[in-house]
Each structure stands twice: as structure tokens, then as C-alpha cells.
């Protein structure tokens, strides 16, 4: 029988909710994860082509990513039997008119390399279309499933509870406790964490909390056959960001880098966007694409300023926000979960980021 009371209730079992549950379990708290789907990580975490990219994103994201790096290289003993990351590298390609974009990338730590070096790293690269190239050797592949499952196993070892098919219907706070009504039953806790991803504002509304104005954005991905030797290629990222491509699972992933605002839903790839992405891919890559092997879509959710939102709501007692990672939730997970746990438990905060940058009412 499911225990309906907990020290902390978390709405959402994706990487944000699962990683916070793991951290809180280490502190001896009883945590319940409430998941609206019949499986974990269905909408965003399970549809991520995540990389460890310390030189991408706004300053807050880069700080969280750099702080997360040591964890991916040397996870805690017993956390995961599988490696969490593997070397990949990112090649940034500059074309005519991209000088300012390439200068920005240089300022963030990318290394200049010759066009000949770039083609040795990525043989099909059409170097005649380029003016210059930069390289980031610190980019790494991340094993999203291994990371997510390790958090969930640790949550279970800490006597935590995971409840599937538990879509939030309503919640109210009385006498210092949240009473949360879901399709799987009712649950109580003094602290309610909103880690609902694209549904964060929907969840807030159902709890009687003022939404913060998150915007889910769709990201489409095509999967194509990979030429021989492709698994050693780096990720390719044009400076103008109209596509990116990387090897994965014996195939090539090609994304049009779309970020189209949408409502929270079971996302699917946009065929027109995929066609645009493949066209952009073939502008710089001498690889024939006769058909797509498959495709998928996912949602990335953004706060108004693009930074994650972490902290207690300023108007509603016991309501804690953990949302708006904007597609960087996997690579920032170690640092962001550490920060969120310390903030929730009112412990000393780590010094890699300020609470001001992430507070909900900023």
C-alpha cells in the first residue's frame, strides 16, 4: 500500500524531480514522486539528445554546467554502474557573415583550428563553404537514461515512493500541510515541489499558485543512417545555429534547432522543420540523405529570462519551484539538484551560482 504522507511531494519524475528526490533522500527525507504518465521521463528527459556543453548557453547555464562537470567524470561511489559520459567534442563552423558569432564563441573558450584540422575531425565537412572553425574538446556525450535511472534507484533505496498515473488534479494548503489530489489518490506533505516541466504553470494553477509564465518550445529531431566511421565524429554546430548533428546509437541525429513556442502536449517532430534541418545539414555536410530512419519531438521549457527557476514561491508557503531548465536540464542536473536541495532544506548554498539569479519572483 502506497504511503500517502511524505516529507516532500514532487510533481514530475523527469530529471529535475528525480535528481532532487535523490538529493533529499541522502538527507534522510521521505520523498514521493508523483508522475502523471504511466512511465518516467516520457516528455522531455526521455527525448533528450543531451550533451555536456560547458561553452553553450547563457552565463547562469554555463556556470551550472561547469559546476556539474566533475560529477559526470567521477560520479559518487555506487551511483551508477554505467559511465555517465563519453568524449565527443563540438566543432563550430563559421560561414560568411558569421564573424561576430564566432568571436562570441572564442570569448566563451572555443579553440580556433584550421579548416584542414576540422576536416580531419569530420571528413564529410564541406570546408569550401566555411571561413573558419572552432573546437571545444570538453563537450561530452551524456547517457541520459543511465543518469535518470540512477537517480530513481537511489530514490528507491532511500525508501522513496514513485507513483505513476498520478496526474495532479488539485491541491490546497491547510494547517501547514499540502493536500494533493491526483488520479492515483490523495497525498499530504508540508512541502510541494513543482518539477512538472512544460506543465509547470498548469500544475501551479491547479495548486492555486500564480503561474510564472513559462513557455514550452518544441525541438524536432531526425534520425538518419550514419556513414562508416561516423561514430567518432564530433558534434557539428554552425555558428548561425540553423541545425546541429551528432552521432548516437549507430545513427546520425540531425536537428533543425527549432524552438517554436507551443502548449504543453505530447510533442511530435514538425515535418517542415525537419526538411529545413536536413537542407541546412547538407549545406555543410557531404552526406546523402535519401530518407529518415525515424524522427521525434520533445519540449524544452523556458522562463521569461531563460534561466531556471528554483526556490520557494514568494506568496505561497511550502510551494517550491524547480522548472524552466530550457533544454539544459540534463547537463546541469548535478549542480542544480545540489543547489535546490540546499535551498529547500535551508542549508548553506554552494557558491557556483547566486540564489538571486534563480529565485521565482525575480
CA–CA dist 30, 7 (Å, integer) = 5
CA–CA dist 22, 8 (Å, integer) = 12
pLDDT (0 to 100) of residue 300: 96
| DSSP string across 18-72 | HHHHHHHHHTT--EEEE-SSSSTTTTTGGG---EE-TTSS-HHHHHHHHHHHHHH
Q: Are strands 251-255 and 215-225 parallel, antiparallel or unpaired?
A: antiparallel
Query: How do the domains of the chain map onto residue ranges?
Result: 8-50+144-214+304-358, 90-137+215-302
* Furthest-apart CA atoms within the chain: distance in Å: 69
Tens of pLDDT, residues 190-221: 999 999 999 999 999 999 999 999 999 999 99
| DSSP string across 211-237 | ----EEEEEEEEEEEPPTTGGGPPEEE
CA–CA dist 207, 302 (Å, integer) = 20
Tens of pLDDT, residues 317-362: 999 999 999 999 999 999 999 999 999 999 999 999 999 999 999 9
Cβ–Cβ under 8 Å, residues 222 and 277: yes
Q: Report CA-CA distances (Å) from 31 to 195, 287, 331, 340.
A: 13, 49, 23, 14
Residue where the block lists cell 533505496: 157
* pLDDT means over runs of 10, the chain (362 residues): 84 98 98 96 84 95 98 96 96 98 96 98 98 98 96 97 97 97 97 98 98 97 96 97 96 97 95 97 97 96 97 98 96 98 97 95 90
pLDDT (0 to 100) of residue 62: 97
Domain 8-50+144-214+304-358, CATH homologous superfamily name and number: FAD/NAD(P)-binding domain (3.50.50.60)
CA–CA dist 107, 89 (Å, integer) = 18
How many of the other CB atoms lie within 10 Å of CB of 81?
Answer: 8
3-state secondary structure of 119: helix
pLDDT (0 to 100) of residue 2: 57
What would the grid cell of residue 308 be? 531556471
pLDDT (0 to 100) of residue 1: 44
pLDDT (0 to 100) of residue 140: 98
What would the grid cell of residue 356 be? 538571486
Domain 90-137+215-302, CATH homologous superfamily name and number: D-Amino Acid Oxidase, subunit A, domain 2 (3.30.9.10)
What would the grid cell of residue 201 be? 504553470
CA–CA dist 293, 254 (Å, integer) = 11
CA-nearest of 301, 210, 319 to 264 is 301
Q: Are strands 235-238 and 90-94 parallel, antiparallel or unpaired?
A: parallel
CA–CA dist 133, 284 (Å, integer) = 12
**Is 316 exposed, middle or buried (CB count within 10 Å of its CB: 0-12, 13-18, 19+)?**
middle
Amino acid at each position: 500500500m502506497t504511503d500517502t504522507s511524505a516529507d516532500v511531494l514532487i510533481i514530475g519524475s523527469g530529471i529535475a524531480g528525480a535528481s532532487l528526490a535523490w538529493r533529499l533522500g541522502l538527507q534522510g527525507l521521505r520523498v514521493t514522486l508523483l508522475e502523471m504518465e504511466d512511465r518516467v521521463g516520457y516528455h522531455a528527459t526521455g527525448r533528450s539528445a543531451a550533451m555536456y556543453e560547458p561553452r553553450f548557453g547563457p552565463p547562469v547555464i554555463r556556470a551550472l554546467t561547469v559546476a556539474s562537470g566533475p560529477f559526470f567524470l567521477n560520479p559518487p561511489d555506487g551511483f551508477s554502474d554505467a559511465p555517465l559520459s563519453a568524449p565527443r567534442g563540438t566543432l563550430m563552423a563559421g560561414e560568411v557573415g558569421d564573424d561576430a558569432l564566432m568571436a562570441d564563441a572564442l570569448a566563451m573558450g572555443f579553440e580556433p583550428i584550421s579548416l584542414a584540422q576540422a576536416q580531419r575531425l569530420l571528413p564529410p565537412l564541406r570546408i569550401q563553404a566555411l571561413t573558419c572553425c572552432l573546437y571545444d574538446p570538453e563537450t561530452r556525450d551524456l547517457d541520459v537514461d543511465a543518469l535518470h535511472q540512477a537517480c530513481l534507484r537511489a530514490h528507491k533505496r532511500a525508501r522513496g515512493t514513485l507513483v505513476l498515473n498520478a496526474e495532479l488534479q488539485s491541491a490546497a494548503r491547510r494547517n501547514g500541510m499540502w493536500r494533493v489530489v491526483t488520479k492515483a489518490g490523495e497525498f499530504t506533505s508540508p512541502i510541494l515541489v513543482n518539477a512538472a516541466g512544460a506543465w509547470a504553470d498548469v500544475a501551479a494553477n491547479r495548486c492555486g499558485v500564480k503561474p510564472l509564465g513559462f513557455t514550452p518550445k518544441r525541438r524536432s529531431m531526425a534520425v538518419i543512417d550514419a556513414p562508416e566511421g561516423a561514430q567518432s565524429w564530433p558534434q557539428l554546430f554552425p555558428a548561425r545555429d540553423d541545425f546541429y548533428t551528432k552521432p548516437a546509437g549507430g545513427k546520425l541525429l540531425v536537428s533543425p534547432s527549432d524552438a517554436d513556442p507551443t502548449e504543453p502536449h505530447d510533442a511530435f517532430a514538425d515535418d517542415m522543420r525537419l526538411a529545413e534541418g536536413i537542407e541546412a545539414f547538407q549545406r555543410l555536410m557531404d552526406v546523402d540523405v535519401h530518407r529518415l530512419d525515424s524522427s521525434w519531438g520533445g519540449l524544452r521549457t523556458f522562463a521569461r529570462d531563460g534561466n531556471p527557476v528554483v526556490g520557494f514561491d514568494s506568496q505561497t508557503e511550502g510551494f517550491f519551484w524547480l522548472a524552466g531548465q530550457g533544454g539544459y536540464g540534463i547537463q546541469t542536473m548535478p549542480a542544480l539538484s545540489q543547489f535546490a536541495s540546499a535551498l529547500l532544506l535551508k542549508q548553506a548554498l554552494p557558491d557556483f551560482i547566486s540564489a538571486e539569479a534563480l529565485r521565482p519572483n525575480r
